[in-house]
């Protein structure tokens, strides 16, 4: 997707009165700025699974798509390790049951079947528009315990490459990125480019209030946005 | 609010008027008059109060407009509603310092008055410092609008430190401290409620002010964040700026629709802004004291490597801990340096970092340790001197000064503060080496110098 098309996702969502981009849109947007996302297909229901799944290489993950669900895992909206269309269909039926019970009021806008990303280090990269200082970018240790661990660093956008490397060195988990107890170092340049991409997105699209990739899974082979979120204004 | 004329005239006024002047000793306006005279303000002083024909033998005007001259700065010491009335009638004034309280800080009615004040200032093009402030202490142009008597809050001598603060009490605190430490200042501005002139306007002035070598900033909030970062970035290219940010617990203003929003309090963004602008942040009042002291002598350094030389093991270790805690690198000496040190120092000295010269140290050992240690790449040196070591002498300061001059590295001294050691401390200070009285204080000062690389 080109940057111009990605910008339309934002204006379309706002026109529909939505204050967030749906996960597939959010990912399409960051991928337009060169950030790698997993290969995925969007499905409406069980009837789509068999055909659409052919484009993907298992193992797969199934995720609910809804503007109302902030933490998908908490409502059973993520099922991992699916090997074929039989498992995927079964997972979809189960997920529907969870959702009826745990998020009865949420508007469900389909599902995402996605290739699972090989294990790596979970990072978070994000950004927000501060009323006083304008766009700011965050880098840190990702995962579900982000707010607990608070191992993050901030800089104001626009960023230069040197600032991005400073940000990375400021977080405690930095040694994990440079090779720790036998692990191979990750591609720091690629990581830096992703952080800079968020800075550019915030500068270019004023309607984005918050942007976040978490987890951003990095390893020696690459850096992939496993989940992405954009809050609009 | 940053628009309008520049504020340089506040720091070189040809004339100052005191509006609400009083003949009664102890009244704020009287204290201000006394202070202006005491400091030797060279321009014209006009007194304004319709209730008096003269005060202490000087003519007293009925109103500002009656003065047949343009007034550069009028100091208002009047109840808030009266300030508004007079501002509305005033035509011949460039800028005002409104000492009076009774504005936004008091609630709804005061907030209304403050909005009115702001509007009048913008409409008439009158720049405003305050309200609810102390105004300006300027040792360069000899201006003192602080309404605290000199015998209670001492005034520092002239020097290169300029201080900007929202808080008047903080201005007094740091002013008194600087005076007692004999550290000179250039300009101190207390701008209180900051209806107009704030940190950014002041920084813009101080940036090109030749009298100002260092800027210290006490910040509760910022007026226009982006403009502040822009101006401060330019200022830090010319001279160091240190900041104390208070109100760190203020919650974020972002909707918690993301972790990023939830985790970003206001303070995190302030920190990002300081980093962007190259401002060195220090922690609390103690941190600022140390920063002012060390920057009074030394400039910022490029790296963060600290060499510690000590004659007491325990003090050395606690110094190293304090440095590491502050993000400084107490890096190892090279093998060659260790070899040379071992050959030149007495047997029981420890040749690591810290270099521990022990209680058997002589003046010469300190010099040797420094000369050898500084062959490795270090940015700052902290030397602890415990005077219990019987063989060190009063000439140590002279000897260290020679090393300092030939290596051109900042040397910070840490020594206790008893009667004898204070006298010794003075020797160091006279030789251009600032003295700190605890390991933590010395480490904080070193961390300020390395502030951009921590």
Which of A116, A136, A166 is the last residue in one of the domains? A116
Residue B158 · residue B39 · CB < 8 Å: no
Q: Is residue A78 part of a domain?
A: yes
d(CA A204, CA A201): 5
Instruction: Determine the distance from the C-alpha atom of residue A129 to the mean position of all C-alpha atoms in its chain, rounded to a whole number.
Output: 18
Kindly report whether the peptide bond that precedes residue A215 is cis, defined as omega within 30 degrees of 0: yes
Q: Domain check: are A100 and A147 in the same one?
A: no
Q: Domain check: are A112 and A142 in the same one?
A: no
Judged by CB atoms closer than 8 Å, whether chains meet at B264 and A136 is answered as yes
Q: Which chain A residue has the Cα nearest residue B327?
A: A170
Residue A177 · residue A186 · CB < 8 Å: yes
Q: What are the pLDDT digits (tens) for B123-140? A: 999 999 999 999 999 999
- Note the pLDDT of residue B279: 97
Instruction: Give mean pLDDT, residues A69-98.
Output: 94
Distance from first CA to last CA of chain B, Å, rounded? 33
CATH number at residue A60: 3.30.1490.20
d(CA B44, CA B150): 21
Instruction: Give mean pLDDT, residues B167-181.
Output: 94
| Other C-beta atoms lying within 10 Å of the C-beta of residue A231 | 23
Q: Domain check: are B348 and B215 in the same one?
A: no
Q: Domain check: are A145 and A192 in the same one?
A: yes
Q: Domain check: are B55 and B79 in the same one?
A: yes
- Note the pLDDT of residue B73: 98
Q: Domain check: are A88 and A135 in the same one?
A: no
Judged by CB atoms closer than 8 Å, whether chains meet at B260 and A131 is answered as no
Q: What are the pLDDT digits (tens) for B206-248? A: 999 999 999 999 999 998 999 999 999 999 999 999 999 998 7
Minimal CA separation from A198 to chain B, in Å: 13
CA atoms within 13 A on the CB side of B413: 27
Residue ranges making up the domain that contains A206: 121-232
- Among residues B231, B233, B244, B170, the alpha carbon closest in space to that of B198 is found at B231
DSSP assignment of B182-224, as one string? T--EEEEEE-TT-SS--HHHHHHHHHT-TT-SEEEEEES--SS
Give B253's pLDDT tier (boundaries 50, 70, 90).
low
| Other C-beta atoms lying within 10 Å of the C-beta of residue B63 | 13
Q: Domain check: are B95 and B211 in the same one?
A: yes
Instruction: Give mean pLDDT, residues A136-141.
Output: 96
Q: What are the pLDDT digits (tens) for A47-59? A: 999 999 999 999 9
Q: What are the pLDDT digits (tens) for B33-62? A: 999 999 999 999 999 999 999 999 999 999
- Residues from chain B that touch A126, judged by Cβ atoms under 8 A, are 258-260
| Other C-beta atoms lying within 10 Å of the C-beta of residue B16 | 22
Q: Domain check: are B267 and B336 in the same one?
A: no
- Residue in this structure with the two tokens 């340049």, named with its chain if needed: A189
Buried b vs exposed e over B358-384: b needs ≥16 C-beta within 10 Å?
beebbbebbebbbebbbebebbbbbbb
Under an 8 Å CB criterion, which residues of B touch A?
A: 222, 224-226, 229, 253-255, 257-264, 268-273, 275-276
Tokens of B270: 């302030």
Q: Domain check: are A212 and A227 in the same one?
A: yes
Q: Where are the alpha helices (DSSP H) in B374-438?
A: 396-407, 419-430
Tokens of A98: 């969870």
A123 at interface of B, judged by CB pairs closer than 8 A: no
Q: Domain check: are A85 and A156 in the same one?
A: no
- Note the pLDDT of residue B350: 86
pLDDT(B255) > 90: no
CA atoms within 13 A on the CB side of B157: 7
CATH number at residue B155: 3.40.50.261
Which of B233, B261, B295 is the last residue in one of the domains? B295
- Note the pLDDT of residue B250: 72
Give A149's pLDDT tier (boundaries 50, 70, 90).
confident
Residues in chain A: 233
Residue A140 · residue A123 · CB < 8 Å: yes
- Note the pLDDT of residue B30: 97
Q: Is residue B3 part of a domain?
A: no
Residue B41 · residue B16 · CB < 8 Å: yes
Q: Which residues pair with A139 in a beta bridge?
A: A125, A153
The total number of structural domains in chain B stands at 2
Q: Is residue B256 part of a domain?
A: yes
Q: Domain check: are B401 and B259 in the same one?
A: no
Q: Is residue B301 part of a domain?
A: no
Q: What are the pLDDT digits (tens) for B405-419? A: 999 999 999 998 788
Strand order from edge to edge, sheet including B127-129: B54-55, B58-61, B44-48, B15-19, B71-76, B93-98, B127-129
Residue B74 · residue B15 · CB < 8 Å: no
Q: What are the pLDDT digits (tens) for B58-78? A: 999 999 999 998 999 999 999
Give B254's pLDDT tier (boundaries 50, 70, 90).
low
Q: Choose from A150, A155, A156, A174 for mutation: most chain B CBs within 10 A.
A: A156
- Note the pLDDT of residue B1: 42
Buried b vs exposed e over B220-249: b needs ≥16 C-beta within 10 Å?
ebbbbbbbbbebbeebbeebbbbbbbbeee
Q: Domain check: are B358 and B230 in the same one?
A: no
Residue ranges making up the domain that contains B149: 8-295
> Between vectors from CA B389 to CA B310 and to CA B376, what angle results, nearest 5°?
25
Give B2's pLDDT tier (boundaries 50, 70, 90).
very low
Q: Domain check: are A125 and A203 in the same one?
A: yes
pLDDT(A85) > 50: yes
Radius of gyration of chain A (CA): 18
Buried b vs exposed e over B256-295: b needs ≥16 C-beta within 10 Å?
ebbbbbebbbbbbbbbbbbbbbbbbbbeeeebbbbbbbbb
Q: Is residue A28 part of a domain?
A: no
Q: Domain check: are A131 and A227 in the same one?
A: yes
Q: Domain check: are B103 and B164 in the same one?
A: yes
Kindly report whether the peptide bond that precedes residue A158 is cis, defined as omega within 30 degrees of 0: yes
In this prediction the ipTM stands at 0.87
Tokens of A22: 């749906």
The total number of structural domains in chain A stands at 2
Which of B242, B268, B295 is the last residue in one of the domains? B295
Judged by CB atoms closer than 8 Å, whether chains meet at A152 and B263 is answered as yes
CATH number at residue A207: 3.30.470.20
Nearest to A154 among B226, B258, B268 (CB): B268
Judged by CB atoms closer than 8 Å, whether chains meet at B257 and A231 is answered as yes
Q: What are the pLDDT digits (tens) for B295-308? A: 999 999 999 999 99
> Between vectors from CA B367 to CA B362 and to CA B369, what angle results, nearest 5°?
95
Tokens of B211: 């009298």
Q: Is residue A73 part of a domain?
A: yes
């Amino acid at each position: 997707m080109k940057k111009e098309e990605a910008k339309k996702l934002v204006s379309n969502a706002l026109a529909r009165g939505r204050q967030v981009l749906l996960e597939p849109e959010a990912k399409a947007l960051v991928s337009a700025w060169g950030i790698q996302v997993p290969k995925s297909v969007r499905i409406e229901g069980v009837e789509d699974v068999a055909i659409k799944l052919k484009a993907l290489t298992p193992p797969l993950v199934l995720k609910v798509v809804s503007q109302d669900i902030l933490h998908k895992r908490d409502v059973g909206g993520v099922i991992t390790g699916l090997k074929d269309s039989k498992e995927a269909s079964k997972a979809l039926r189960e997920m529907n049951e969870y959702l009826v019970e745990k998020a009865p009021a949420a508007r469900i806008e389909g599902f995402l079947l996605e290739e699972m990303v090989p294990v790596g280090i979970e990072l978070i990269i994000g950004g927000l528009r501060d009323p006083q200082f304008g766009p700011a970018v965050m880098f840190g240790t990702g995962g579900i315990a982000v707010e607990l661990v608070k191992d993050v660093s901030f800089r104001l956008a626009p960023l230069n490459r040197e600032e991005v490397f400073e940000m990375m060195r400021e977080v405690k988990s930095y040694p994990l990125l440079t090779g720790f107890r036998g692990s191979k170092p990750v591609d720091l340049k690629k990581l830096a480019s992703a952080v800079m991409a968020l800075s550019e997105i915030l500068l270019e699209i004023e309607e984005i209030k918050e942007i976040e990739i978490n987890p951003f899974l990095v390893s020696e082979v690459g850096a992939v946005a496993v989940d992405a979120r954009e809050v609009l204004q | 609010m940053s628009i309008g004329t520049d504020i340089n005239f506040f720091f070189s006024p040809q004339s100052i008027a005191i509006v609400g002047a009083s003949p009664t000793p102890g009244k704020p306006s009287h204290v201000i008059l006394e202070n202006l005279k005491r400091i030797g303000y060279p321009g014209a002083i006009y007194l304004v109060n319709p209730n008096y024909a003269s005060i202490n033998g000087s003519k007293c005007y009925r109103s500002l407009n009656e003065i047949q001259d343009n007034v550069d700065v009028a100091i208002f010491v009047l109840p808030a509603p009266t300030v508004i009335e007079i501002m509305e009638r005033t035509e011949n004034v460039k800028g005002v310092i409104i000492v009076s309280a009774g504005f936004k800080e008091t609630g709804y009615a005061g907030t209304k008055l403050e909005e009115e004040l702001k509007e009048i200032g913008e409409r008439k093009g009158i720049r405003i410092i305050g309200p609810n402030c102390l105004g300006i202490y300027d040792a360069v142009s000899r201006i003192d609008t602080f309404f605290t008597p000199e015998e209670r809050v001492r005034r520092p001598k002239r020097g290169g430190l300029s201080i900007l603060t929202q808080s008047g009490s903080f201005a007094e605190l740091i002013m008194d401290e600087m005076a007692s430490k004999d550290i000179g200042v250039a300009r101190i501005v207390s701008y209180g409620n900051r209806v107009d002139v704030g940190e950014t306007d002041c920084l813009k002035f101080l940036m090109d002010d030749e009298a100002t070598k260092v800027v210290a900033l006490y910040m509760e909030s910022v007026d226009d964040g982006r403009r502040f970062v822009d101006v401060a970035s330019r200022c830090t290219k010319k001279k160091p700026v240190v900041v104390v940010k208070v109100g760190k617990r203020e919650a974020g203003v972002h909707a918690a629709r993301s972790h990023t929003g939830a985790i970003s309090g206001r303070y995190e963004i302030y920190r990002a802004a300081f980093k962007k602008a190259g401002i060195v942040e220090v922690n609390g009042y103690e941190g600022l004291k140390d920063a002012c002291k060390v920057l009074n002598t030394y400039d910022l350094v490029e790296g963060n490597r600290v060499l510690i030389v000590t004659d007491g093991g325990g003090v050395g270790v606690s110094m190293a801990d304090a440095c590491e805690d502050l993000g400084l690198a107490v890096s190892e000496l090279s093998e060659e340096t260790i070899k040379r040190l071992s050959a030149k120092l007495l047997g029981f000295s420890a040749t690591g970092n810290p270099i521990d010269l022990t209680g058997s140290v002589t003046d010469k050992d300190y010099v040797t340790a420094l000369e050898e240690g500084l062959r490795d790449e270090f940015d700052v040196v902290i030397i602890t001197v415990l005077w219990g070591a019987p063989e060190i002498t009063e000439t140590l300061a002279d000897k260290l000064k020679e090393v300092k001059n030939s290596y051109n590295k900042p040397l910070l001294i840490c020594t206790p503060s008893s009667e004898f050691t204070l006298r010794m401390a003075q020797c160091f200070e006279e030789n251009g080496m600032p003295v700190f009285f605890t390991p933590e204080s010395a480490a904080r000062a070193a961390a300020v110098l390395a502030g951009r690389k921590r």
